[in-house]
Structures are given as structure tokens and as C-alpha cells.
Copies of this chain bind each other. A is one copy, B any other.
Amino acid sequence: MSGFIKYGQSSFKFTKCPSVLSYAAIVGKKEGEGPLKDSFDRIEEDEYFGQKTWESAESALFKEAVVTALEKGGFSPSDIDLLVSGDLLNQCTATGYAARSLTIPYIGLYGACSTMAESLLCSSVFVSGGAKRAVAATSSHFCGSEKQFRFPLEYGSQRPPSSQWTVTGSGAVVLGEEGSGPYITHATAGCVIDAGITDANNMGAAMVPAFCDTLHRHLTSFGAKPSDYDMIFSGDLGHLGKKIAIDLFYEEYKENLSSNYDDCGCLIFDNKTQDVHSGGSGCGCSASVLCSHILPQMKNGNLKRVLFIATGALMSPTMSLQGESIPSVAHAVEFNICPEK
């Protein structure tokens, strides 16, 4: 039976669970010096990825992650029904421009740093509904993001301790109706929540309420508790945000997020030696951590059931300059090495 069964307002239990067929993570030099350095498919020393601008660099990075994921699975673009992807650059530049030469029908998304979970969720709905294969992918680039969301690097502006370091990286996952797992078994689409944070250098705090809300809704919909998962990963709350998330989730729902909870923004850099302040961010962060650290551990059986909740600050520099606060969203995707829990 195709499709999914709906629980609550927008939690889905897939009746035909899409399987992860292949995946790839490609990152920049700094990410390649971090704790996950041995897990990436490629570490690129050239920040420009052979291009002349940051925007084209990110587009080249994104394309390479997709092409690598396809190659690892033995697929050509014509084997793929949909490229479901987005990025942080204005007008989804990295993905839209890369899609020109990929010749895979393109569903463009914008979910800020939540995009990896959003693209996995949407791809799963397409595959469970009747598509054969879809690629879920996102990217981000430190230099392009700083230029766009804060200041061009040449200004040399000071970063406050709460700020996070946008990951130069891209992750791509090929999902399909065939395959032997890990499977996406459940998902929950998130509501936009605004905690009233106006500081574009404190994204972790801005995104925590959306993370807690989506996690709570996912657990409630499926009668699960945090300890049911081998691991729960949030996307890019960073060190500050992770602490707030643990506190807020306990305060609001009286449940502990303990040793089986971690954040992709805390995993990708070594905070003691890499001077990234509150950790990593950017939609390439959760994407590259998923494809280098999480999925391989599911493939080798170290992790059996994982909840992946990427969080996004739907921040617009224009709105921030107008004094507006930062709305956030988080989407949850549940992986399991068995198609049924």
C-alpha cells in the first residue's frame, strides 16, 4: 500500500517506507579539520570550488554532492525522478543553478537550515506516493552566507560568542522505493514559531522553540518517548541552543533529553580548537553530518532508530533591519533500519 497514514495535524507514518539507497557528504577545508574529518566523501581545500564567486562555488559544491551520491549508488540522473532541494542563498541560487546541468526535475524548497529534513520529508512523500527515486539535498557556504546574512568577510566584523559558523558543505541522499534500508518510517512537518529573538547572531536560541514543538508533536503523534531512540539529532542549534533545548524541553514537557541527544552543529567542529563560538550552522551542516556521521552508523548497525530534526531560522536580513524577530521551523524525519518499528 502506497502513501502514509496521518497522525495528529501533520505527522506521517509511511505505509511504503522509502529506503536510503546512497548518500554523499562533501565539505570545505575547515570542516575537514574537524572531528568528522575521516567520514566525508571529499574535503575540498579550495574555498572557491574552482569557481570565481562564492555563489558559484556553493553551486559547484552542491552539484558535486549530488553527483557523488548518484555515483555511489550506481545511478545516472535519468534514474532519478526528482531533485528535492534548496539552500540559503537568495533565490536558492546554489541548487537552482546546479539543477540546470543535472537534468532531474526540480522541486525547489526553502526551509533555511531545516531544509535537509524538509527535503527528506517531501522526497519520502513523493517516493511513498509512487515515485521511484528522489534525491534530497542541501548546501551552504560560509563565505556566501556571511556576505548575504551579515557582512562581507572583507569587513572583518567581530562575531559574538552566541554566533554559529555556517558550514561549507553539502549532503545528498538518494531515496527509493527499493533498497534494504535504513528506511524513513515516520515524519512530522513543523509549524513556524517565533520566540521573539531579534539577534541574527543568536540563531540557536531563536530555533529552540520550533525544535521542541516539532519533537513533542512527533513523540505525541506516535506514542514515543525520547529514550525510544538510539539517537535524537537536532540540526544546528549549536552549543548554546542545545543547552537551551534540553532546559526548555524539560520545562515544557517534563521529559529529559539525555545522552542520546546531540546537535549537528556541535558535532561538526571541535569547539576547543576551531574557534567557531557556538558551533556549526547552515543547511549544509545537518546535511553533511547526516551523510557522514549518522547514516553510516545506521548502515553498520551502530544506530537502529534515529530521529533527525533539522531546524531553520526563516530569517530575512531585510526584516531584521526593520526590527522584526526571527521565525523558525523544524521538521522531523525518523530513520529505522527496519521498515516497521
Contact = CB atoms under 8 A, between A and B. Distances in A.
A122 B84 CA distance: 11
Interface string A166-205: 0000000000000000000000111111100000000000
Given A89-B316, A100-B192, A4 B130 contact: yes
A317 interface: yes
Interface string A303-334: 00000000000111111001010010100000
B189 A82 contact: yes
A189 to B, nearest CB: 4
Contact of A109 (B90, B105, B110, B324): B110
Contacts of A82: 10, 189
Interface stretch (A34-42, A67-75, A91-99, A255-263): A91-99
A9 interface: yes
A191 B83 CA distance: 9
A92 B315 CA distance: 9
Interface in A1-53: 1-6, 9-10, 12, 15, 52-53
Number of this chain's copies in the assembly equals: 2
A108 B319 contact: no
Nearest to A89: B316
A106 interface: yes
A78 interface: yes
A191 B93 CA distance: 15
A15 B126 CA distance: 14
Contact of A192 (B1, B99, B192, B329): B99
A279 interface: no
Contacts of A105: 9-10, 188-191
Contact of A93 (B129, B193, B318, B329): B318
A91 B125 contact: no
Interface residues of A, number: 65
Contact of A3 (B53, B93, B129): B129
A277 interface: no
A111 interface: yes
A122 B104 contact: no
A130 to B, nearest CB: 4
Interface in A47-64: 52-53, 55-56
A130 B190 contact: no
B97 A314 contact: yes
Interface of A: 1-6, 9-10, 12, 15, 52-53, 55-56, 78, 81-82, 86, 89-93, 96-97, 99-100, 102-112, 118, 121-122, 125-126, 128-132, 188-194, 314-319, 322, 324, 327, 329
* CB-based closest 5 A-B pairs: A2-B3, A96-B314, A99-B192, A3-B129, A10-B105
